[in-house]
Structure 1
Amino acid sequence: MLYFLGNCQMDFLGRELETAGYPCTYRVLASPFTYNSSPGVIPEELAAMDAKFGLEKFYHDRKLSHQFQMITPDDPRPQLIVMNLFHENSPLFVHGSDKYIFFVNPAAWEDQPEFEVWMKDNCGVVQAKPGSYLKRYREMLGHLRERFPKVPIVVVSRLSHYPAFGPDPYSYLDVWSDIWRTARPVLRSWESEIDDLTVVELDHIFAGIWSKSEKKIEAHCPFLKFELTEENNTITGLHASRDVEHIGSMWSVLAGKIEQFLKEGRIDYSEDEVVPDEWLRPWQPEKFPEDKLIEMLSSGANYQCARAIGSFFLDLGKDYTELLAKTAEFTPVCHNTLHMIRTYARIWPNPVLAHWCQAHRNAAAQFTANGPIYTQEYLEKIDEMERMVLG
């Protein structure tokens, strides 16, 4: 069994290898803190609380077995363990006397008041020291190696935040923007300190993809996140950052590297997989004529649509809402794209967007691949947006 441990990047990678015929299991993790505090063992008292109050829905898929074991004694023996530098959940709680650390959504307190009493009597909140992530991750790898001394471990790094990936490259691992410049030698040291551990550098993987495709970051990472500044219900500022964590073209190439490792015990990089000098240059915004925007919005392709919407924010003196309304039936269901449209609607609360909301609501209701909770939350955001633009 191949185990993929971390966040959604490992899910994407595992799916690629499963398609290639390998048996794969994905586990989403909460924090290195949890495993380090009780390596391989679920604390008895916490397990009892979990069983008594039925808390599983409050872990956001990060079950106690994921938090404290990752791979349980009852699971199939691992052939390979692949992990990434996953982001941490919050809040994290520490048991006052036993010192184990765990994640649970505090919404569990409203559902189970008795559990709230137990937590407030016995637990406090953990505050991680800034910059301690890699040290805690290294400790976690050491514990994992002790449990599985003969199983190869592959650690997948994160994409560096090069200037060409602007505006302001964004990672879900909060500290990455501060540590990416110094992380590489730290990760490399793990290979010499821990037996049979290999680090895969995403910079090399993405450089190879870049060399064979359009050399614009928007073509690979079209999703933007925004923070608005408001005064007296008036928007006075906007900060945009680019999501460089979800790169659709990455996973098949990375899966090929893992397959090479399974067959040959090593990972090689080609001459094309070298970081290009252009990544060190400042990001250059792109702008499209209206006919090209309509073509992109009508394509039905998620990346094309998001790329077009992202360009709206480079010309905030003009309202492009009409283009969304004209192409509403083609907008893909995607929470990242929806976030961008919601932000644009706050800047330009045009009632015409209500037509887009009505058309997209129908598409979202029929999209069930991500489960009922995803669909419900997605529809609620559309409803909220429609109310906003209609005043």
Structure 2
Amino acid sequence: MLCFFGNCQVAHMRATLASTGETTTYVRLPHTDFFTDADVGPRHVAFRRQAVAMGLEKNLTSRVLIPQQELRTLKPAVIVTNLFNERPVLTRADDGYSVSISQNDLAKCSRAQREWLLAGFVFRQADPTGYARRFVEYLKRLRKAYPETPLVLLDRLRPCPAIGPSPRSLLHEWDERFQEMWAVISQGAMATGGVRFFSLEAATARFCMRAAHGIDEAVPFLRFDDELPCLARPRGCPPDQTPDPASHARRDIEHFSASFSEFLAKLLVSGVAPREPDAAHRAWLAAPYAPRPLDGTALRQLLGSGDAHRTAIALGNMILRKKPATEALLEHARDIPAQQNVLNMVRGYALAFPSVGIVRWCAMHAKKAARDLAFREEGYLGNYLGRVEAVAQAATARLASAMRAREAISA
């Protein structure tokens, strides 16, 4: 059995292998302290009983601390873990028992449910500067629980020219202190013993050197801040003065595409997962990123794929190459999935290329989302539709601003 401990990065690898018939299991860890030496079985059972009585099972079931006694029943042939980011947890002051619930889920709780939780628990956000040390301690506890089981440690992407726009990691301070943090973690892992490194940098280079869309095919999502410049150039503005949107874009290195997750999973089971980049990999990582040209046919194929990752490739390409294609977006409005990361990129497009067409797209997308997301938990659809409306409002405001700029130049 292959056991995966961590966040969505290893969860998607596990899903790929499970679909091929491999025996796997996944333990979601929102905090390095969640894998503990303490036998919390009785406390866990008591809390679960109370949570069910309060109607909180839906919010907490998949997020409750896994008791050590349950983990001991696992018989893994290999354990795979990654450098998962930590989330705030609710911790009971008297015995340290912890559960994880998102702020969004907490906000959905009734007043009585929130009062019960907050009366016995306090929110605890781990000190981000101590992550490397805490992760080493987590590895030691994992080794103690499974002294003979091989451990595979999947590391993280680091900022480098090939990744493109400034990387955005959910692991606090990784983007700025990755060398220092990795030095502590890698040394601690070697001291722990029986840990094999799986270099994400090397795997990314190997994948992207053969991928049609390069790095955009591995980690396709980009984030854009509110300062993203409007690229609807006023009449009379010289082309060389058009703002560069890449300076306001950040590569989301947290969320992998399905094809990249599948590639990583195959590398894992093949036994040839790279431990460090070779010369060819390092050369690719050092080469500056440039979005690859897409003609109209290729763009429409991506937008019409119905796949979130392929849609993101098209949106990012249009923004970074300053090549709007709002007509194509409208043409494939029914194909573009209702997905948060895609919507974030549409928002970036709306800020860069505001138009009446984008406002129309938002109206069409809202109808699609109402159908496609009706099955989601209470509150999710309303939240998503609110974000769609915010994109329409941002486009309208930018469009009005661009028109005023044109009028000022004409005057």
Q: TM-score range by the shorter chain?
A: 0.7 to 0.9
1:13 equivalent in structure 2: 13
Q: 1:327 to 1:105 in 2, by over 3 A?
A: closer
Q: Distance in 1 between matches of 2:319 and 2:92?
A: 46
Match of 2:282 in 1: 276
> Contact 1:83 / 1:154 at 8 angstroms: preserved in 2?
yes
CA distance 1:79–1:171, shift in 2 (3 Å) = same
SS at match of 2:85: coil
Give the structure 2 partner of residue 326 of structure 1: 331
Aligned partners of 1:169 and 1:241 also within 8 Å: yes
249, 253, 261: which one pairs with 2:263?
253
1:29 aligns with 2:35: no
Residue equivalent to 1:314: 320
Contact 2:197 2:275 in 1 (8 A): no
Say if 1:254 and 1:327 are closer, same or farther in 2 by CA, change over 3 A: closer
Measured in 2, the distance between the counterparts of 1:324 and 1:135 equals 47
CA change 1:271–1:306 in 2 (3 A) is: closer
TM superposition shift of 1:198: 1.9
Aligned to 2:99: 102
Q: Offset of 1:31 from its aligned partner?
A: 0.7
Say if 1:81 and 1:108 are closer, same or farther in 2 by CA, change over 3 A: same
What per-residue deviation string (whole Å, max 9, x for no partner) do you get for residues 7-49 of structure 1? 1111211122213321112222211133348566574564454
- 8 Å Cα contact 2:64-2:100 kept in structure 1: no
CA distance in 2, matches of 1:119, 1:322: 50
- Percent identity between the two aligned chains: 26
Q: Within 2, Cα distance between the matches of 1:283 and 1:268?
A: 23
Give me the TM-score of the superposition, normalised by structure 1. 0.79
Q: CA deviation at 1:126?
A: 2.4
Unaligned 5+ segments in structure 1 are 231-235
Question: 1:257 is matched by which residue type in structure 2?
Answer: L
Equivalent of 1:244 in 241, 253, 256: 253
2:115, 2:334 → 1: CA distance?
A: 49
Taking the aligned partners of 2:292 and 2:320, their CA distance within structure 1 comes to 8
Q: Secondary structure at the match of 2:226?
A: strand
Secondary structure at 2:201 match in 1: helix
Q: Which residue of 2 aligns with 1:343?
A: 348
Matches within 5 A, 1:151-162: 151-162=149-160
Deviations 1:101-134 (A, max 9, x none): 4322455476354454455445433242233112
Q: Which residue of 1 aligns with 2:220?
A: 222
Gaps spanning 5+ residues in structure 2: where?
A: 229-242, 398-411
1:83 aligns with 81
Aligned length in residues:
376
Q: Give me the whole-angstrom Cα distance separating, in 1, the residues matched to 2:18 and 2:211.
A: 26
The offset of 1:156, in angstroms, is: 1.2
Change (3 A) 1:281 1:55: same
CA distance in 1, matches of 2:190, 2:200: 19
Q: Tell me if structure 1 keeps the 8 A contact 2:164–2:289.
A: yes
Q: How do 1:182-221 residues align onto structure 2 when only pairs under 5 Å count?
A: 182-214=180-212, 216-221=214-219
Cα drift, residue 168 of structure 1: 0.5
Q: What is the distance in 2 between the residues matched to 1:119 and 1:37?
A: 24
Deviations 1:59-87 (A, max 9, x none): 4832232xx54x81585433322111112
Provide Cα deviations, 1:188-229, integer angstroms capped at 9, x if missing partner: 324432243222111121222133334742233221112214
Name the CA shift for 1:150/1:120 in 2 (closer, same or farther; >3 Å).
same
Match for 1:372 among 359, 371, 376?
376
Q: Indicate how the Cα distance of structure 1 residues 330 and 119 shifts in structure 2: closer, same or farther if over 3 A, else same.
A: closer
Helix, strand or coil for the counterpart of 2:70? coil
Most deviating of 147-156 and 380-389? 380-389
Matched, 1:56 2:66: no
Q: 1:173 to 1:130 in 2, by over 3 A?
A: closer
**CA–CA separation in structure 2 for the residues paired with 1:136 and 1:270:** 24
Report the secondary structure of 1:21's partner residue: coil
SS at match of 1:72: helix
- Please tell me the residue identity of whatever aligns with 1:204: A
SS in 1 for 2:80: strand
The equivalent of 1:175 in structure 2 is 173
Q: Which residue of 2 aligns with 1:356?
A: 361
Residue in structure 1 matched with residue 234 of structure 2 by the alignment: none
- Preserved contact between residue 94 and residue 100 of structure 1 (Cα < 8 Å): yes
The residue number in structure 1 matching 2:238 is none
- Alignment partner of 1:182: what SS? helix
Give the superposed CA RMSD: 3.8
User: In structure 2, what is the Cα distance between the partners aligned to 1:273 and 1:72?
Assistant: 44
Relative contact order, CA 8 A, sep 6+: which one is greater? 2
Distance verdict in 2 for CA 1:209–1:150, change over 3 Å: same
Partners of 1:165 and 1:179 in 2: how far apart?
Answer: 17
